[in-house]
Amino acid sequence: MTRKLVLYCTLILVLWEAGCNTVIIRPWTPPYKSRSVHEIRVLIGKAEGDLQIRGEGLLSVYDANELLIKKGIDIISLNVSKLKAPIRFASETQGLEFKSLKVRGSILLVPQNSGPALVVNVLPLEEYLYAVVPSEVPYSWPQEALKAQAICARTYAVREILNKKNAFYDVEANTNSQVYGGLEKEHPSTTKAVQDTTGVLAVYEETPIQAFFHSNSGGKTEVPENVWGGKRIPYLSTVASEFDRAGDNFYWKDVIPQETLDSKFSHLKLGEIRSVQVLSRTASGRVDLMELSGSEGSSRIRGKEFRQTLGNSVRSLRFGIQKEGNGYLVKGMGSGHGVGLSQWGSFGMAKENYNYVEILRHYYPGTDLARITR
């Protein structure tokens, strides 16, 4: 056997053994040159009247033309109502503080024609992720699960940056976007996961995916059209998620008192509610259509409306309900909307030695990984 043939056979063997774990992370170039995706604008609050920005050491304030207009040591105060144009706060040391939230980067104050001014934290994308990942999942989780979360968070953020290029901010600091806890939330373990995946996105046909994630799917994920409507998204299909059992929210139950149910659905004018029935479910087993019957009539509503109205009592739409005493017993599985990556499923997979590539390919089938170019 010639040397070339030996090398060829060895290469084939290596690729065969690697199988689906083999991944090529190709470069990805943002479509807009006018807006860098390496920097993100996070809405961290609103302000009116007197405002204080804190830091350590010398703080500086710049106008819209980057001209220095004010300096202070450790704290700068001003009256927001007198502001006519955006200003930027910066610190010579790491960290600024607004209402107890300490952040990296700078803080932009943007006055509005009416209402309070916007307080926007502007910082590098990767540094933003240092605070997002541990705000979304525990830093003690396995590294492969943390890496998967970092890529989801980065992909979500980049997609928002591209969609919000003409807005004053890209994301919010709460669950309206993804949770951002600032400097004090950072941890070396999650920072390492971000750094080990620097710039890596999940893409589908060269576009950053809609990287939805949730706490626990209860064993099977949901398709987005059943949650928010719209068209089918190929990489957000229903997939089995057996490793969700690792989460303490895989099974749950709660009791909804009769008076709570009557009060919450009083707008339906049903009187005292006497029965709640599930009429249909989606393919993933989640409640689709329900019927509430009361002393003065009955009404059919969607499961998502039922859950939204009752809040934390119904953690997911994978539930059953029955009359019990002076109330209704609700038993369910999972937590959250169920679309995309299950965080507890990711945890369980990582515990069983799946890597972040396998985790992402499981929850977003048909997607690829790409790294943002400079």
| Cβ pair 320, 334 in contact under 8 A | no
Options 2.60.40, 2.40.50, 1.10.287, 1.10.3470; CATH for 40-124 is 2.60.40
- CA–CA distances in Å: residue 116 to residues 139, 167, 188, 198, 287: 35, 16, 36, 36, 40
Q: How confident is the model at residue 1 (pLDDT cuts 50, 70, 90)?
A: very low
Residue 267 has a CB neighbour count (10 Å cut-off) of 8
Report the alpha-carbon distance of residue 250 to residue 353 in Å, rounded: 21
- The pLDDT of residue 6: 41
Nearest to 153 by CA among 118, 191, 184: 191
- The pLDDT of residue 115: 87
- Return the percentage of the chain with pLDDT > 90, whole number: 86
The residue type found at 157 is A
Q: Do strands 96-98 and 87-91 pair parallel, antiparallel, or not at all (unpaired)?
A: unpaired
Q: How confident is the model at residue 113 (pLDDT cuts 50, 70, 90)?
A: confident
The residue type found at 81 is S
Nearest to 27 by CA among 152, 200, 198: 200
Q: What are phi and psi of 245, to 5 degrees?
A: -60, -15
Q: How confident is the model at residue 14 (pLDDT cuts 50, 70, 90)?
A: very low
For the stretch 234-255, pLDDT in tens is: 999 999 999 999 999 999 999 9
In the chain, which ranges are continuous DSSP H helix? 3-18, 125-136, 143-163, 188-196, 258-264, 303-310, 343-351, 356-363
Q: How confident is the model at residue 24 (pLDDT cuts 50, 70, 90)?
A: confident
Report the alpha-carbon distance of residue 23 to residue 365 in Å, rounded: 14
Residue extents of the structural domains in the chain = 40-124, 251-333
- The pLDDT of residue 22: 55
pTM of the model: 0.89
Report the alpha-carbon distance of residue 201 to residue 245 in Å, rounded: 27
- The pLDDT of residue 145: 98
